Amino acid sequence: MATGIQRRTVLTAGVVSTLFAAAGCATGGARKAGPALTSAASGQIKGTVSVWSWDVAAKALKRLAPAFEQRHPGVRIEVVDIGYDNAYDKITVGLKSGKGLPDVLTIEGGRLPGYIGVFPGGLYDVTALAGRYRPSFAPAAWKYVTDEKGKVFALPWDSGPCALFYRTDMLKDAGVDPASIRTWDDYVQAGERIKAKTGKKLLVMDPEEDSMFPMLLQQQGQHYVKNGLIAVNDQQGVRAATLLKTLADKGLVQFEKGWDGLVAATKAGKVATTPYAVWWSGTLTDEMKELKGKFGVVPLPAFDAGGVRTSNDGGSALAVTGQTRNAAAAWAFVEFMLADTANQVSMLRTEGLFPAYLPALKDPYVTAPQEYYGGQPVFKTFADLESSVPPVEDTKDMPKARDIVNGTISGIVLHGKDPKRELDSAAKQIAAATGRRIAG
């Protein structure tokens, strides 16, 4: 979720991995057909619809709920902010036990494939009603709400297209033109010049839970798994890890733990750039007002000249749970919130949630100059990149793979370990943990 979910990883990944493993055993590998919502079942819009969410997402739902209730006088929306700290514990336990969940769930895009794969029937199949919206959503966002057969289990909400935030004053002092940073090689060279001229590091990395590696993988069109096979150690994986090792070896990385470390280092002016998602803008404008006019945005550097210059980090969706007794009204609320330009733009303006709904990206607010960035229309930069984010494959095994990869990248950037050798080891560990085969 932009602006507040993906950025604070406070859940213990091992807890969720354990719950998923137990759930996988419970299902025994058998995939039963779950409930489906069709046009024939969507007539009655009445009753109470309960919704779980958190942070600014919950605020947005609460703020817009009265408009939906006014449109449908027989409906009452109850939004519960369950907090992010234990959200996925609660959701996973509810799906595993088959009870206790609300009518509608907020779920991050990266988590959805796992829930769809492990808990058949846990979420409503809304293909019959949602399928027509496919062209209206960013391809990468649509990918995470569908299963391997193309069935739809949620609607995308916000997304996290990535670009390069930079300090205009630091680059100017170093004599670096941001427009000249077109490839990652250019980026490294710029970092060396910035460090030599200003003493500033180039970027922040978390040594324990890195988000750069998956971002760099997706930029190259894949995640940890490709075509069902483990791919962290293929050419693209090694290229991404080697870039991170190069940045660390050249002393261009400011290592900081967690979200608070990133914010504090940026606020203190320790780094000149942040390769991150659009929702980082909300943090800058909210928590660093004193730095107004000192940031700019350009597309991510590409691996090769003319290559893809964006990726994705974050994003979420709304899903109707299989436990609901009011599926028609629940779906109507999801549709009202997410397949509506006015509501999506309203959430961008007020809560900083960047729409995955493409029609909303044509709104004048998105293309307007932003005062904080010295008049640069930064949202337009992200809107122009949105449709070129490569869709990637996520699976129910991602929590296990993520734990292994985090430790592997830590060893590479902190201790100078060989990227190919370490990623080969990681691939074998993921294979042992998931039963998947390694590509190649």
420-432 confidence digits (pLDDT tens): 999 999 999 999 9
pLDDT at position 213, please?
97
Q: pLDDT band at residue 26, thresholds of 50, 70 and 90?
A: very low
Contact 301, 181 (CB under 8 A): yes
Q: pLDDT band at residue 209, thresholds of 50, 70 and 90?
A: confident
Q: What would be the CATH architecture of the domain defined by 161-311+394-434?
A: 3-Layer(aba) Sandwich (3.40)
| Length of the chain counted residue by residue | 440
Nearest to 221 by CA among 281, 152, 304: 304
Torsional sign, CA 248, 251, 256, 261: negative
Q: Which fold has domain 13-160+313-379?
A: D-Maltodextrin-Binding Protein; domain 2 (3.40.190)
Q: What is the pLDDT of residues 31-62, one digit of tens each?
A: 456 688 876 554 578 999 999 999 999 999 99
Assign 54 to helix, strand or coil.
coil
pLDDT at position 43, please?
57
pLDDT at position 396, please?
81
The beta-carbon contacts of 372-377 under 8 Å, at least 24 apart in sequence, are 372/281, 372/284, 372/285, 372/292, 372/293, 372/295, 373/293, 373/295, 373/296, 373/297, 374/168, 374/293, 374/296, 376/296, 376/297
Which residue's structure tokens are 């058998």?
A: 30
Token digits of residue 98: 């088959």
38 versus 255: the higher-pLDDT residue is 255
**Positions of CATH 3.40.190.10 in the chain:** 13-160+313-379, 161-311+394-434
Q: Please determine, for residue 3, whether its predicted confidence score (pLDDT) is greater than 70.
A: no
- 224 Cβ neighbours under 8 A, 6+ residues apart: 214, 217, 230, 231, 232, 398, 401, 402, 405, 430
pLDDT at position 40, please?
55
Taking residues 184-213, what's their average pLDDT?
A: 96
- 59 Cβ neighbours under 8 A, 6+ residues apart: 351
pLDDT at position 41, please?
53
3-state SS record for 108-142: ECCCHHHHHHHCCCCECECHHHHHHHHHHECHHHH
Q: How far is CA 44 from CA 40, 67, 71, 75, in A?
A: 10, 18, 14, 10
Nearest to 49 by CA among 80, 5, 82, 90: 80
Does the model's pTM come out above 0.75? yes
Q: What are phi and psi of 296, to 5 degrees?
A: -135, 170
Taking residues 296-320, what's their average pLDDT?
A: 96
Assign 161 to helix, strand or coil.
strand
Assign 414 to helix, strand or coil.
helix
Q: What is the pLDDT of residues 405-421, one digit of tens each?
A: 999 999 999 999 999 99
Rounded to the nearest integer, the mean pLDDT of the chain is 91
pLDDT at position 277, please?
95
pLDDT at position 25, please?
43
- 274 Cβ neighbours under 8 A, 6+ residues apart: 164, 165, 166, 203, 204, 262, 266, 280
Contact 169, 294 (CB under 8 A): yes
Q: pLDDT band at residue 13, thresholds of 50, 70 and 90?
A: very low
pLDDT at position 440, please?
82
pLDDT at position 15, please?
41
Contact 205, 212 (CB under 8 A): yes
Q: Please determine, for residue 11, whether its predicted confidence score (pLDDT) is greater than 50.
A: no
Name the CA dihedral angle for 64, 66, 68, 69, rounded to a multiple of 10 degrees.
160
Q: pLDDT band at residue 110, thresholds of 50, 70 and 90?
A: confident
Taking residues 202-217, what's their average pLDDT?
A: 94
Q: Please determine, for residue 29, whether its predicted confidence score (pLDDT) is greater than 90.
A: no
Q: pLDDT band at residue 22, thresholds of 50, 70 and 90?
A: very low
Nearest to 397 by CA among 21, 90, 133: 21
pLDDT at position 19, please?
46
Contact 349, 365 (CB under 8 A): yes
Q: What whole-number distance in Å separates Cα of residue 5 and Cα of residue 82? A: 12
Q: What are phi and psi of 317, to 5 degrees?
A: -150, 165
Nearest to 205 by CA among 238, 246, 176, 173: 246
Taking residues 331-343, what's their average pLDDT?
A: 97
pLDDT at position 12, please?
36
Nearest to 54 by CA among 6, 97, 94: 6
Q: Please determine, for residue 371, whether its predicted confidence score (pLDDT) is greater than 70.
A: yes
Segment holding 333, helix H or strand E: helix 327-338
